[in-house]
Amino acid sequence: MYKCRKRIAAIALAALMGLSCTGCGKSNENSSQPIVTQAETTSETTTAITTAKTAKTSAKKTTTTTTTAETTTTITPEQETTAPQTAAVHAAPIAKVSHNTAEDGSLGSFVKNYPYNSSVILYCMDGKTLYSNAPNRVYYGASMIKLPYVYYCCTQLENGVHSLSETVTYTADDYHGGSGVIIHRGVGEKYTIEQLIDYSLRYSDNVAHDMLVRLFGTEGFNKMMSDWGYSNVKLYSYNHFADLTPDFILTSMRKMQQMSTNSGKSWQTAWNALLGSEGLRIKNYFSKESVAGKYGLYSGVYHEVCYFGGNEPYILVVMTNINDYNVNDKYMTNIAAAARAEVNKYTAEKEAAKTTTTAAEQTSPTEETTTEPAPETTSPEESTPPEAAPEAVKTSETTNTTPYDEN
């Protein structure tokens, strides 16, 4: 009898537990809902759980799709600047989503249709930036680091730290594969610092770069970068290379060009090496011109910076991700041609504005001409301000010719 009562009590307790609220965990003992059988409760619960799982799965898929779309379309250059400087790109990059739009010949169109990340800066030496795309995006710099490092070496040389004629011996520890000419020569051969600077920039010689770093060190260079405002650019002591941004490379070339007018022999050595540099796609596109440039190539990246002289000097910086070591020559030459078109357009606009201003000054009456009539003996030529005619001729020539060919 006792066992029977105990069993009835257990069944009653189980029934009460079955009426608890699954969603909130609170008891439903005061609920006004009718009591249902265990079979009905199980059936409804199973149906509710199945429906909830289906809705949750559907929502999860929708959320994933939305997140993917947002990741693809909302990444901005500013967000990409938050990438750590030590995250070097040594492998083939992930391709961007193709926009499948026709190229109209503009810089923006070519950059937009490039299948990987690419940053381009077109900067005129008068201070005008004609085009800039993701200037602070971080790339593995490859041999582009040799440009600012040689700049640092020149500052030290001009301050009396070492001399261009000083010799450095090539040792086995200096060996570095890749580009250059020294690796094809014997260990133990001596090179002057002047030769090392020339080889580093002209042939992108890795051994020459390593020998310069061994001599001048990394601490002073890293401090110079901090003084420039690029405290996040550090020369790696273990391989003498670094991660860089397009804006930093623009600053390096601009400073080097400004110092090329210096009488110091170190600056002249470096600039002549840049003028004679080899292996550049953009520079080769303008092979009949005098172009100073430097390139960097490694698995996953290709970069190039070029300075163009002429009536409207400018600097073009192109930094790109590539597939392995496969440089997209067509893209580089398209960018070069589009940049030149932008500079020509800018020059024509400046000349047109200058002509308009000159014409307005000529036709504007002055107090002297309104109060006193000009003498009858004054000829039209004499009333024309000096330089007016030459200015008009100059404008015509500039408009009808390409003022950047230095042959």
The residue type found at 249 is I
**What sign has the CA pseudo-torsion 50, 53, 58, 61?**
negative
Q: What are residue 159's DSSP bridge partners?
A: none
Q: Which residue has the tokens 């770093």?
A: 213
Provide the b/e sequence for 75-98 (b: ≥16 CB within 10 Å): eeeeeeeeeeeeebbeeebeebee
Joined together, the tokens standing for residue 101 give 């739009």
Q: Which amino acid is at 206?
A: N
CA distance 26 to 36: 18
Residue 394 CA to residue 126 CA, distance in Å, equals: 19
Check whether 90 has a pLDDT greater than 90: no
Tokens (6 digits) for 345: 């357009």
Where are the domains positioned within the chain? Answer: 107-345
Q: What is the pLDDT of residues 37-87, one digit of tens each?
A: 333 334 444 444 444 444 444 444 443 333 333 333 333 333 333 333 333
Q: Which of 317, 393, 338 is nearest to 121 (CA)?
A: 317
Long-range contacts of 170-176 (CB under 8 A, 24+ apart): 170/207, 170/211, 173/214, 174/207, 174/210, 174/211, 174/214, 175/207, 176/206, 176/207, 176/209, 176/210
Chain-centre distance for alpha carbon 264: 31
Tens digits of residue pLDDT in 153-181: 999 999 999 999 999 999 999 889 899 99
Is residue 15's pLDDT more than 50?
no
The C-alpha angle with vertex 342 and arms to 339 and 343, in degrees rounded to 5, equals 90
- Decide: 258 and 155 in contact? Cβ < 8 Å: no
- Of residues 104 and 181, the one with the higher pLDDT is 181
What's the confidence (pLDDT) of residue 263? 81
**Tokens 């930094």 belong to residue:** 319
**Which of 125-134, 277-286, 373-382 is predicted with the least confidence, judged by mean pLDDT?**
373-382
pTM tops 0.75, yes or no: no
Nearest to 198 by CA among 213, 214, 209: 209
Look up residue 323 and give its DSSP letter. B
| Fold of domain 107-345 | Beta-lactamase (3.40.710)
On whether the CB atoms of residues 293 and 282 are closer than 8 A, the answer is: yes
Tell me the C-alpha distance between 216 and 163, whole Å.
Answer: 12
Q: Which of these, 342, 399, 368, lies nearest to 110 by C-alpha position?
A: 342
Q: Report CA 204 to chain centroid distance, whole Å.
A: 20
